[in-house]
Structure 1
């Protein structure tokens, strides 16, 4: 199995920690010392230096203190007596990977993901495993075992404690950088001189730790493939890879607006429709320099030499959850602010469009009535081309069509207003109007074709 040598990791973390301390003490402490000497002078110039050094030193010292441990995400802690089959799955995987059970297990509605971390201290503290509910709907039982086995792979040889320590350093650097001002704020130009060493050191930490974390990810992949078989785990990886960004987009674009109004359409059915209607592909999500996960193809290649092993249980992973519908409702509440709806009314996606989309358009147009005043369908193109409130005009246009008798067709990822053979997506059409190629004559022809009066006011 691919592993990072413990001695090398320890030396690297100690070196990064010492560098972090030297940087903070030198710049923070040095600024405060210079502030003290500047305060001893009667020269007004030195008084300005005193203010600069006292501010810079205080910010650096406060920001330099290591950040806190990982915060437990919003979710629901599950107990063995409540979810016996799920705990049995986790316990079985722990035994097969040679690890002890996590101290706490949470179910979350946070991405299509699972993660394990160390909370409450580096040397002691608790192991916390979080598994997102969507995984249960997308994976089989055996595939879910593979994902959990991967997370246990992060416990091997102190990897999780190394990660927690690096997290403390990175969070302290981020806080210091943020406190010293944004990149392009001219008011913080002088403080940016103090900020620069922290930015450079933060990049150094990424440069040194990201390759290590990627090696650890590959080692965890191999452990998972050894546990459930390379084919089963490879399929689980593929499903997570293809759905992680797509599901986030679905929740933000389609689900949250409904939940925020107190309506609960079918969640996973809606996700399937979202993928169908949008036609988006997430086979290779955009990567960032600090992405600790290797590319998908590299992860598959790392387990290709391991035996496939026949899957033990091809039942949907959702079959091992008790009271799954009630659990889903409780987890969905964690996506909303504290003053959000506490109870949801079950509706179909078609009903959700009538109950949420149209009322939202009406509220938006009512709030911005002055902006829409005197705008007609005929003047919409020229108004949109010179305005910046694209979403407002799209909502007003859609509402105008609805008042003219057009029917709203709404599904996750799909919104059209329909009359006869004509279908219009108001957002797409208003976006098209902003193009210089979309001329006034073309808009007039469209109004005639759709049977719309150019003099109709958007406000009704």
Structure 2
């Protein structure tokens, strides 16, 4: 079946989706009339009232769904984006208008900056999209951070390709219809009454049929927009922008986890403007290969069966298969698209204000160095605590003359052993005789014995000992925060510790523990009470 026939079939199904509501309302009106005038005439009035009430509830659900369908194309006030006026962002608007002019399209009426690695367009729905209306464009600040100016031209040309509807105007109606159908089904899904579920099942079944029919049209619309972008912005720039999307998406996910959410255990956030703005620091600090490494080994998301977008790899291959247009030199412009945004700090701060929950926005703010140091201390305490508790219990059992199987009992957090006490316990042979038995482990691992048991628990003892070392170095003022935009945030340790720490820890947790290498390193750290950040122990 050709694209035009697929679009026509989808359009008929879209009209049927809306008309189905009228048919159901008419059917229930007839049913109510028969119940009241023919079936229950003057008898069993309570039964008639019950059934009529039930049909009225269903009718209300249908009207709710139809109203949701009509509203789906409207442009509501955007609460989760920063409006970018032409006077505020003239350079960005110049590029948008240039793309619109090249495409023979009118520019958007509104431009918004979002917190997503994405670009999108919307248009005011009029007669289900049959008449043109007010246009809105969305550009993600993380997307601008990772794209060059030529690549952004390719993205803009692609988005204006959606406005142009190069294949057929009905294709645009179907794409708007997909959003309306999904919105209508969602209305029924949010209501859990029996009548809503019954009518919702009918709508969901019909929606599946419509979405299957419109999927092919939607994918062809994306391919057409890609071809349009290649024609107006250049084949190579368009392909480069498409290739960058999954890479940037993975890099942004890494940034949000490793940096923006770093203060979650502390109940703190980066300084204002840095929750999203820090991403540009990470991108600037890494080479393109370094950014790409963040997506290596990452499986592409499984395509949804109703996804209107073809897989990125397929789209890139289709664009690269187009004839060479001789515009490869345009990629020599390596300016970040973010340079087109004026007063970036203010924009990033405004984006936080309209996207972060109120309770999150009220959290204390820390600079990156303070945030890294505080998080490093929290992590070190978390690593060390299971080992310290196990050592405390083992020492208590040793003093009481009991074996490892004795009840553990509570341990006073203020009396947990320090690093030297832990090493003393290791030196007395308690590690594999008593301490390892008291380390937390999965119930299946508890069945292990001998070398298997030691090899299972050894990494946990290693981590606990490393946590104690980090705490000691922080207390002694010999560890500094390392934001490490090109790697992972953590602590920068003295050179001798960077070189010898792992070997010393390995020796301390060996089958025959040897604490001498670690004690030799500790001898140069100074007093544990040296000035340094306050630590919470236990």
TM-score, normalised to structure 2, is 0.62
SS, match of residue 212 in structure 1: helix
Match runs of 1:235-274 below 5 Å: 235-248=240-253, 250-251=255-256, 254-256=259-261, 258=263, 261-264=268-271, 266-270=278-282
CA contact (8 A) 2:239 2:316 kept: yes
Partner of 1:421: 502
Distance apart, 1:226 and its partner CA: 0.9
Partner of 1:353: 372
Tell me, in whole angstroms, the C-alpha distance in 2 between the residues paired with 1:248 and 1:212: 31
SS, match of residue 208 in structure 1: helix
Partner of 1:230: 235
Tell me, in whole angstroms, the C-alpha distance in 2 between the residues paired with 1:277 and 1:398: 28
CA contact (8 A) 2:113 2:138 kept: yes
From 185, 207, 221, the counterpart of 1:216: 221
Tell me, in whole angstroms, the C-alpha distance in 1 between the residues paired with 2:374 and 2:100: 47
CA spacing shift, 1:125–1:194, aligned 2, 3 Å = same
Distance apart, 1:61 and its partner CA: 2.8
Match runs of 1:34-183 below 5 Å: 34=31, 42=44, 49-50=51-52, 52-65=54-67, 66=69, 67-68=71-72, 69-71=74-76, 72=78, 74-110=80-116, 112-119=117-124, 121=126, 122=129, 123-157=131-165, 158=169, 159-180=171-192
Match runs of 1:332-371 below 5 Å: 332-341=352-361, 345=365, 347-348=367-368, 350-355=369-374
CA contact (8 A) 1:32 1:58 kept: no
Partner of 1:15: 12
Further displaced range: 23-32 or 122-131: 23-32
CA contact (8 A) 1:278 1:414 kept: no
CA spacing shift, 1:120–1:23, aligned 2, 3 Å = closer
SS, match of residue 154 in structure 1: helix
Distance apart, 1:171 and its partner CA: 1.2
Partner of 1:367: none
Match runs of 1:335-414 below 5 Å: 335-341=355-361, 345=365, 347-348=367-368, 350-355=369-374, 374=410, 378=438, 380-381=440-441, 404=468, 406-407=470-471
CA contact (8 A) 1:64 1:176 kept: no
CA spacing shift, 1:279–1:248, aligned 2, 3 Å = closer
Partner of 2:323: 306
Distance apart, 1:330 and its partner CA: 2.0
SS, match of residue 179 in structure 1: coil
Tell me, in whole angstroms, the C-alpha distance in 1 between the residues paired with 2:34 and 2:466: 72
Deviation sequence 1:167-194 (CA, Å, 0-9, x none): 223311331244256xxxxxx5x86444
CA RMSD of aligned residues (A): 4.5
CA contact (8 A) 1:118 1:164 kept: no
Distance apart, 1:42 and its partner CA: 1.9
Distance apart, 1:287 and its partner CA: 1.3
Distance apart, 1:222 and its partner CA: 0.5
Tell me, in whole angstroms, the C-alpha distance in 1 between the residues paired with 2:64 and 2:334: 52
Partner of 2:304: 288
Distance apart, 1:137 and its partner CA: 1.8
CA spacing shift, 1:307–1:344, aligned 2, 3 Å = farther
SS, match of residue 149 in structure 1: helix
SS, match of residue 355 in structure 2: coil
Further displaced range: 257-266 or 299-308: 257-266
SS, match of residue 380 in structure 1: coil
CA spacing shift, 1:277–1:164, aligned 2, 3 Å = closer
Tell me, in whole angstroms, the C-alpha distance in 2 between the residues paired with 1:261 and 1:134: 22
Q: Larger Rg: 1 or 2?
A: 2
Tell me, in whole angstroms, the C-alpha distance in 1 between the residues paired with 2:490 and 2:215: 45
Tell me, in whole angstroms, the C-alpha distance in 1 between the residues paired with 2:255 and 2:504: 23
Tell me, in whole angstroms, the C-alpha distance in 2 between the residues paired with 1:380 and 1:96: 65
CA spacing shift, 1:235–1:403, aligned 2, 3 Å = closer
Tell me, in whole angstroms, the C-alpha distance in 1 between the residues paired with 2:33 and 2:381: 61
Tell me, in whole angstroms, the C-alpha distance in 2 between the residues paired with 1:161 and 1:229: 28
- The gaps in structure 1 that reach 5 residues or longer are 182-187, 364-372, 387-396, 425-443, 452-457
CA spacing shift, 1:248–1:29, aligned 2, 3 Å = farther
Deviation sequence 1:100-139 (CA, Å, 0-9, x none): 11111111112x1111111354334311111111122211
Distance apart, 1:70 and its partner CA: 4.9
Tell me, in whole angstroms, the C-alpha distance in 2 between the residues paired with 1:82 and 1:357: 40
Distance apart, 1:141 and its partner CA: 0.7
CA contact (8 A) 1:32 1:57 kept: no
Tell me, in whole angstroms, the C-alpha distance in 2 between the residues paired with 1:402 and 1:33: 77
